[in-house]
C-alpha cells in the first residue's frame, strides 16, 4: 500500500541537508519511495496522511541506554556512589527476566512517544528485552552485559559471555533487531573476558559496546596499573574496530582521540547523564574535527532520568556552548544531525535509517507545530533543539507502520504497559525502600 504524508516541513538530513518547507514523503512496503516539495507530488497513493504543517524528521536514534532500568528511576539520584550503593546490589537481588521485559516495554514506549525509533541497549536478560523490542515494533541493537561478578542472569563472573553465545544466534537475521555483546567497562572485566567478548562479536559479526573513559577511578586504575589510558589498553589487546561503540568518553586525551580515529570507533555521547553525575563534558568538537562518528545517548532512565533526545539536544547546546565559551558553537542544525543521521552512523545503520531519502526505511517522525511553544518558526532546527520537547511528537512510523498517532501508542495503551510494570515491581520497590533508609 502506497502512503503519502503531505503538507509537512521536511528536514531530510541527507548529505545536502535538503529542506522542503511545504513538502511530502511517500513510502511503500516500509521504504521511502519519494520525498520533495508539494509542487512535485505526482504519484497516486492509496493512503493520504495530512501533515498539518508538522516538522518531519527521520526517526531519532538513541545510541546508549539501559531499557531494563526503569525501576531505578529517581532512586538515590543525589547519592555519591549510586552505582555500588543501589544499582549493582538491587539488580543482583531483584532483577528478573520478567521485570526486565516489562521495563523494556515501558522504556521503549517512552522513547517512541518521544520520536526515537532506534536505540542501542546494554543490560541483562537481553533475550527477553529483544522480545519486548520486537513486540513494540522498535528497531534496536541489544547488547548483553559482561561483568566480573555474578549478576541477575548468571551465577558466575563474566557469565554474560555464555549468555551471549546462546542469545546472539537467536536474533541474527532479524529485520529490526541486531544482537550484540556489551562488556560493562574495561575496569570491570578481566583482559581475558574482554578478548573473548571481542572474539564472539567478530565470529558473529555483531557490534560491541562498552562504557569507556567515564569514571575518574577508571582512569586512575589504568594509569596506576598499566601506565595507559583505558583507550590505549583496549588498543593493546586488539579490541578496537569499526564495530565498537564507545559510550561516554568523557576523559579522552589527544592521543586517545587519535587512536579512536585510527580504528573508526564510534562514540555515544550522553551529555545529560555525564553532567548530572558531575563527571564532565566530553571533547565532542575535537572528536568531530578528527572525523569521528558521534551520536547522542540518553544513558539509562536512572542515569539521565528521561529517555528522549529533545532533552539531550538542549543540554548538548547549553553545556557545550558554555564549556567552549562560544555561543556560535554547534549550530542547531549540527545538533539535530547528531540525533538522527549521526546516531545512525554510530550504529552502522546509516545506509538504512537516519535521513529521509529514497530507498531508506520509512522511519519518520512528525513534530506538531500547533502547541504554544512551537510558534513562530524562523529556523526549524532551532525550534527542535531549543523550543520543542517530547510532548510535541505527534506521529511516529517505523518501517512505514504507525506506532504513534496523535500522541498515542497505536498497538497498546501506555497505561496497560505501566500497570504491568508496576505489578512486577512490587518486590523491587520494597527492597529499594530498605536500601534508601
pLDDT tier for residue 37 given thresholds of 50, 70 and 90? very high
∠ Cα 310 316 322 (to 5°): 140
Residues 207 and 337 in one domain: yes
Structure confidence at residue 84 (pLDDT): 76
* Residue 83 scores a pLDDT above 80: no
Q: Count the neighbouring beta carbons within 10 Å of the beta carbon of residue 127.
A: 21
Residues 255 and 122 in one domain: yes
* Residue 69 scores a pLDDT above 70: yes
What is the average pLDDT across 322-349? 97
* Residue 204 scores a pLDDT above 90: yes
**Residue that terminates a domain, selected from 346, 366, 397:** 346
Q: Are the CB atoms for 30 and 401 separated by under 8 Å?
A: yes
Asked whether residue 434 is assigned to any structural domain, the reply reads no
* Residue 23 scores a pLDDT above 80: yes
Q: What is the total count of domains within the chain?
A: 2
Asked whether residue 420 is assigned to any structural domain, the reply reads no
Cell numbers describing residue 165:
553465545
For residue 121, CA distances in Å to 52, 256, 349, 380 come to: 34, 24, 15, 30
Structure confidence at residue 85 (pLDDT): 77
Taking alpha carbons only, the member of 270, 307, 273, 246 closest to residue 104 is: 307
Residues 284 and 330 in one domain: yes
Residues 318 and 359 in one domain: no
Asked whether residue 437 is assigned to any structural domain, the reply reads no
Instruction: Output the pTM of the full model.
Output: 0.97
Residues 78 and 203 in one domain: yes
Cell numbers describing residue 326:
562560544
State which H helix or E strand residue 246 sits in.
strand 244-248
pLDDT tier for residue 78 given thresholds of 50, 70 and 90? confident
Residues 326 and 377 in one domain: no
Q: Is 339 left (phi over 0), alpha (psi -120 to 50) or beta?
A: alpha
* Residue 81 scores a pLDDT above 80: no
Bond preceding residue 413 cis, omega within 30 of 0: no
**Residue that terminates a domain, selected from 318, 346, 374:** 346
Residues 13 and 115 in one domain: no
**Residue that terminates a domain, selected from 304, 321, 346:** 346
Asked whether residue 429 is assigned to any structural domain, the reply reads no
Residues 333 and 360 in one domain: no
What is the average pLDDT across 120-133? 98
For residue 40, CA distances in Å to 17, 28, 244, 400 come to: 18, 18, 41, 21
Q: Whole domain around residue 318: which residue ranges? A: 60-346
Asked whether residue 315 is assigned to any structural domain, the reply reads yes
Contact partners, residue 322, CB within 8 Å, separation at least 6: none
Residues 217 and 299 in one domain: yes
Whole-angstrom distance, CA of residue 350 vs CA of residue 137: 19
Asked whether residue 433 is assigned to any structural domain, the reply reads no
Asked whether residue 396 is assigned to any structural domain, the reply reads yes
Question: pLDDT, tens digit, for every residue of 142-185?
Answer: 999 999 999 999 999 999 999 999 999 999 999 999 999 999 99
* Residue 434 scores a pLDDT above 90: no
Residues 370 and 340 in one domain: no
How many residues are given for the chain?
437
Asked whether residue 245 is assigned to any structural domain, the reply reads yes
CATH code assigned at 391:
2.30.40.10
Q: Count the neighbouring beta carbons within 10 Å of the beta carbon of residue 289.
A: 10
Q: Nearest 10 degrees: CA dihedral of 387, 292, 364, 105?
A: -90
Residues 7 and 110 in one domain: no
Contact partners, residue 327, CB within 8 Å, separation at least 6: 321
Q: Are the CB atoms for 298 and 61 separated by under 8 Å?
A: no
Taking alpha carbons only, the member of 291, 304, 295 closest to residue 340 is: 295
Cell numbers describing residue 246:
564507545
Phi, psi of 268 (to 5 degrees): -105, 110
Structure confidence at residue 437 (pLDDT): 67
∠ Cα 100 116 315 (to 5°): 100
- Three-state DSSP class for 268? strand
Residues 340 and 397 in one domain: no
CATH code assigned at 134:
3.20.20.140
Amino acid at each position: 500500500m502506497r502512503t503519502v504524508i503531505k503538507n509537512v516541513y521536511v528536514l531530510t538530513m541527507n548529505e545536502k541537508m535538503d529542506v522542503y518547507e511545504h513538502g511530502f514523503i511517500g513510502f511503500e512496503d516500509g521504504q521511502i519511495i519519494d520525498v520533495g516539495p508539494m509542487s512535485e507530488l505526482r504519484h497516486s497513493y492509496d493512503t493520504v496522511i495530512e501533515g498539518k504543517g508538522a516538522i518531519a524528521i527521520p526517526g531519532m536514534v538513541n545510541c546508549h541506554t539501559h531499557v531494563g532500568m526503569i525501576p531505578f528511576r529517581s532512586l538515590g539520584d543525589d547519592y555519591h556512589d549510586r552505582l555500588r550503593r543501589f544499582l549493582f546490589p538491587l539488580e543482583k537481588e531483584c532483577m528478573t527476566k520478567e521485570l526486565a521485559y516489562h521495563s523494556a516495554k515501558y522504556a521503549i514506549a517512552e522513547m517512541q512517544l518521544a520520536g526515537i525509533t532506534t536505540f542501542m541497549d546494554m543490560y541483562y536478560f537481553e533475550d527477553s528485552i529483544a522480545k519486548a523490542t520486537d513486540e513494540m515494533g522498535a528497531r534496536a541493537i541489544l547488547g548483553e552485559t559482561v561483568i566480573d561478578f555474578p549478576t541477575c542472569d548468571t551465577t558466575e563472573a563474566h557469565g554474560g559471555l555464555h549468555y551471549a553465545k546462546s542469545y546472539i544466534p537467536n536474533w541474527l537475521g532479524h529485520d529490526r533487531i541486531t544482537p550484540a555483546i556489551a562488556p560493562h567497562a574495561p575496569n570491570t572485566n578481566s583482559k581475558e573476558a574482554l578478548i573473548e567478548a571481542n572474539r564472539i562479536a567478530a565470529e558473529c559479526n555483531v557490534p560491541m559496546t562498552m562504557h569507556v573513559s567515564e569514571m575518574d577511578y577508571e582512569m586512575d586504575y589504568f594509569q596506576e596499573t598499566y601506565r595507559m589510558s583505558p583507550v590505549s589498553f583496549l588498543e593493546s589487546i586488539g579490541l578496537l574496530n569499526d564495530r565498537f561503540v564507545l559510550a561516554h568518553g568523557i576523559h579522552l586525551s589527544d592521543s586517545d582521540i587519535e587512536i579512536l580515529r585510527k580504528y573508526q570507533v564510534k562514540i555515544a555521547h550522553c551529555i545529560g547523564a555525564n553532567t548530572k553525575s558531575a563527571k564532565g563534558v566530553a571533547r565532542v568538537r575535537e572528536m568531530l574535527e578528527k572525523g569521528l562518528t558521534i551520536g547522542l545517548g540518553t544513558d539509562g532512565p536512572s542515569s539521565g532520568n528521561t529517555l528522549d533526545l529533545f532533552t539531550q539536544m538542549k543540554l548538548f547546546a547549553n553545556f557545550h556552548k558554555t564549556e567552549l565559551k562560544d555561543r556560535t558553537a554547534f549550530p542547531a542544525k549540527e545538533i539535530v544531525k547528531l540525533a538522527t543521521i549521526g546516531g545512525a552512523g554510530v550504529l552502522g545503520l546509516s545506509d538504512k535509517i537516519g535521513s529521509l531519502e529514497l530507498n531508506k526505511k520509512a522511519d519518520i517522525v512528525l513534530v506538531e507545530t500547533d502547541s504554544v511553544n512551537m510558534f513562530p518558526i524562523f529556523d526549524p532546527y532551532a525550534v527542535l533543539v531549543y523550543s520543542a520537547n517530547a510532548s510535541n511528537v505527534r506521529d511516529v512510523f517505523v518501517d512505514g507502520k504507525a506506532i504513534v498517532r496523535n500522541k498515542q501508542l497505536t498497538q497498546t495503551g501506555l497505561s496497560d504497559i505501566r500497570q504491568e510494570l508496576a505489578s512486577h515491581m512490587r518486590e523491587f520497590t520494597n527492597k529499594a525502600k530498605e536500601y534508601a533508609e
